[in-house]
Structure 1
């Protein structure tokens, strides 16, 4: 009997070690104190882990829109917006455990564009098909693209680079021009040759969230949908929970977080009343996290 109990105990411990939770990055206004984190065991209810994990030191010394991805070696990589205007790149750091971080670096991905206004909301995606990271962001280059009611300095398109090691990068290139000002894009992979891009239509008067589809991670993304969120929503992120995809977004007029769920990215059900997000949570991304890493983060949060 004792051997049976030992086996059951071992299996319970083993199961807990492999249990997957979710990590949500964010920041707090005025975006000077750095990285904030929250976790969830079900993808719906989020517990605050506090902030100050990585205080911004590069570029304009802000940290907005922190985006995180994990490579096949288990290393976490983080990119973020360093300034509203003026900076021609974004911040970068890496960590094995999300507690201790590498030295921060500024990646000047748009330095070759003398007239670029900004580099906003860099988003990391690990491309397992090619064992590389794809980084996309929004920039405005005045008078380069047709515009609607937007000012020339607020007419964004999406750009990208790829990297395998965060030391060498492809030259920045146009990622998405849907024919309108677009920001805050995030890539989701459903299966091989099946990608979805969640995007913010930043035109006036839209300023809401839509999706587009592609067979390759770099596009072209086409068939832009009708909006599935209300007015003044931005900063979407996607979590794959069970058989469903949850899309969280910042309802910045109301200063609340909203969410929808979908199975096909064609029909969306509003679940905003079913989710709980920490107060003042702002634009970040969601990634799976293992039990060991989460346990260390909880200890750190309790210590702080």
Structure 2
């Protein structure tokens, strides 16, 4: 892996991998859903669910943003094979050349926040939006993808030059050293809010927002590898002014949650093949004011401790 010019020391992962995997396999699974609240200065909110359909808000801030522009939007979470939860987020609308990062063993107590300057080598970059985490079990690396605009670098339609996004990525094994940022996806149009999904061995799906002015809806593309190339972009399966997808497999179905930001509501579709999509929004319960983040599995043990921590803080 190519080492970039920034490097963070003093990060130590803890826990025995084999013991955690064995413990996790014996526990019932729940889900957590990261979120933020407008105007995005409040920080990390978390909702939880035992079935992937009905969500309850824990009604408190778990992490106040302290790095970059000191905003927290689009918080993306993933649990590594060692049990550590990793979180990345958007720190500013414009100007910041990286994203925020923190880690936690229990979702309640968080490491010191760090700013990861992934686009510092691009002097004209406008923004770094919606970093999304994916753990690649084939390479043992975390892949982080995000949307950035570099004016006059790509063809555009109706978009302003400072709103013509493409997807970029970096890789890391330890959140200390990162590969130099590189282009991840140029589908020929402005794209943001992309999520990598491993459908099965050798089959990957990218759920993405077409951010062009006539569209602003969600589509999918397909690849044989986590890093692509992603091809055959589909027709949209959501309506106008939708964004921020997150994907979780529940039973035999893949559920795709997305923010219907014009209506200030959440929509959900389910699919088994990422070709046919069924709208099940009426079957799902989402907390009011929930703004888009990502869903991650969490053991009942982790959730129990998180709820106990929340009640303790309320006293």
TM-score normalised according to structure 1 size: 0.94
Moved over 4 A (4+): 14-17
Residues 134-164 of structure 1: CA deviation (Å, up to 9, x unaligned) = 0000000000000000000000000000000
1:294 is matched with which residue?
A: 303
1:77 is matched with which residue?
A: 86
Residues 64-105 of structure 1: CA deviation (Å, up to 9, x unaligned) = 000001111000000000000000000000000011110000
* Correspondence for 1:104 among 101, 113, 123: 113
User: Across the two proteins, how many residue pairs are aligned to each other?
Assistant: 291
Per the TM alignment, residue 31 of structure 1 is displaced from its structure 2 partner at its CA by 0.7
Per the TM alignment, residue 17 of structure 1 is displaced from its structure 2 partner at its CA by 6.2
Per the TM alignment, residue 16 of structure 1 is displaced from its structure 2 partner at its CA by 11
Answer whether contact 2:24 2:299 (CA < 8 A) is retained: no
Residues 218-249 of structure 1: CA deviation (Å, up to 9, x unaligned) = 00000100000000000000010000000000
> Structure 1 stretch 16-25 or stretch 106-115: which is displaced more?
16-25
The CA RMSD measured in Å over matched residues stands at: 1.2
* Correspondence for 2:206 among 174, 191, 197: 197
* Correspondence for 1:139 among 135, 148, 166: 148
2:77 is matched with which residue?
A: 68
Q: C-alpha distance in 2, partners of 1:190/1:226?
A: 19
Q: C-alpha distance in 2, partners of 1:49/1:300?
A: 10
Answer whether contact 2:167 2:184 (CA < 8 A) is retained: yes
Q: C-alpha distance in 2, partners of 1:298/1:284?
A: 19
Q: C-alpha distance in 2, partners of 1:17/1:186?
A: 28
Per the TM alignment, residue 43 of structure 1 is displaced from its structure 2 partner at its CA by 0.7
2:36 is matched with which residue?
A: 27
* Correspondence for 1:55 among 43, 64, 89: 64
Answer whether contact 1:33 1:51 (CA < 8 A) is retained: no
Residues 263-285 of structure 1: CA deviation (Å, up to 9, x unaligned) = 00000000011101000000100
- Structure 1, unmatched stretches of 5+, are 1-13
Other structure's SS at 1:212 match: strand
Q: C-alpha distance in 2, partners of 1:16/1:123?
A: 25
Answer whether contact 1:34 1:53 (CA < 8 A) is retained: yes
2:289 is matched with which residue?
A: 280
Other structure's SS at 2:246 match: strand
TM-score normalised according to structure 2 size: 0.91
The answer to whether 1:187 aligns with 2:201 is no
Q: C-alpha distance in 1, partners of 2:60/2:186?
A: 35
Per the TM alignment, residue 130 of structure 1 is displaced from its structure 2 partner at its CA by 0.8
- Structure 2, unmatched stretches of 5+, are 1-22
Per the TM alignment, residue 300 of structure 1 is displaced from its structure 2 partner at its CA by 1.8
Q: How does 1:1-304 map to 2 (within 5 A)?
A: 18-303=27-312, 304=314
Q: C-alpha distance in 2, partners of 1:36/1:299?
A: 16
Specify whether residues 210 and 15 from structure 1 end up closer, same or farther in structure 2 by C-alpha distance, changes over 3 A only: closer
Answer whether contact 1:158 1:177 (CA < 8 A) is retained: yes
Q: C-alpha distance in 2, partners of 1:46/1:151?
A: 38
